[in-house]
Amino acid sequence: MIHTLTTYESKTTDPYQNLAVEEYLTFHTEPGECILYLWQNAHTVVIGRNQNCWKECRVSELEADGGHLVRRLSGGGAVYHDLGNLNFTFCMRKEDMDVDRQLQVIIEAVSSFGLTAEKTGRNDVAISGQKFSGNAFFDSKGYYYHHGTLLLNVDTASMSRFLNPSKAKLQSKGVDSVRSRVVNLSSLCPDITIDTMKQAMFNAFSKVYGLPTRPLCAERLEQTAIEKGRERFSSEHWKYGPKIPFTNRLEQRFPWGEAGLDLCVNGGMITEALLSSDSMEADWFSDIGSEFQGLPYRTDILCKALDRSLEQHMVPENILTDLCRMVQEQI
């Protein structure tokens, strides 16, 4: 049960530092504590844990323009961050997670400006059908975070320029571009700025949980550990993933998200494999691809490998069924 509310506001716009702090805060929350962490990234595309960065983002163009590519710990899809965007993270023990309550903080903060928001889809918050907040989740070893975006005055031209969503994903949302399905809150209420929204979020945090808030004590942040985290998040191996000369690609959009299976096939045998997805199921996707290596490029054998993964990784049965069907139909 939550009995302590802690707030922390980042003073940097370095995306690798911000994600390292987010990870550190998550794994250092006290029992019964919920930390609301607010942060901003400058000119950054953040991809989900299991996404293929080259497919989701125009990486070369982004980096040539001075931007940053970041891979987060949580699942879900790619998002664009600039200084017109405010990010939030709720850090807590998994036993205290309550997604509806956490989302109510966002809805309450927005309502303080006279706007009515609601949860839509699997992880969005919208006003009149237009998204202003996307959310994703991570848990490990009993620790948990829920983070997301608040679009206040984001450069939607840059968003469209650097993000590269699949046509299937856009069609599933009933739109024809990234820009057409999002809205900046400042366009609906000129009183909304980064500073006023920060205060509104802290006020809503206290109101929804019915408890006073206290600022995080700086001594709780171990800088050596955070710097190690920053080094990992900024490393090429973490950001880009393995560079594999793929020869075959299977992909399909499902109700739970999009899946892509990239394979390098030589002489009828799979030598390399990578399973990517914007699914919210983050933990096991990255492990599945390695289990295909060394197998014959045959439908029945790949489906058996997926079936074994169900037992080992506790994959939801609907996802297993869909992935097997994709393999059967596309090989």
Parent domain of 41: 4-240
pLDDT at 282: 61
Structure tokens at 56: 């989701």
- Of 240, 275, 296, the residue at which a domain comes to its end is 240
Same structural domain for residues 181 and 213? yes
Same structural domain for residues 191 and 50? yes
Structure tokens at 94: 């998994």
Over the stretch 189-241, which tens digit does the pLDDT of each residue have? 999 999 999 999 999 999 999 999 999 999 999 999 999 999 999 999 899 88
- Of 240, 257, 282, the residue at which a domain comes to its end is 240
pLDDT at 276: 85
Same structural domain for residues 254 and 317? yes
Overall number of domains in the chain: 2
- Sheet of 124-127: strands edge to edge? 118-120, 124-127, 130-140, 143-151, 85-93, 33-39, 4-9, 213-215
Same structural domain for residues 86 and 53? yes
pLDDT at 33: 98
pLDDT at 289: 73
pLDDT at 248: 86
pLDDT at 151: 97
Which of the residues in the chain have pLDDT under 50? 168-177, 179-180
Same structural domain for residues 89 and 207? yes
Same structural domain for residues 152 and 175? yes
**CATH number where 254 lies:** 3.30.390.50
pLDDT at 91: 98
pTM (2 d.p.): 0.81
Give the pairing type, strands 213-215 and 257-266. unpaired
pLDDT at 299: 87
Same structural domain for residues 230 and 295? no
Same structural domain for residues 179 and 32? yes
Same structural domain for residues 192 and 282? no
- Of 190, 219, 240, the residue at which a domain comes to its end is 240
Same structural domain for residues 194 and 268? no
Same structural domain for residues 164 and 36? yes
Same structural domain for residues 145 and 276? no
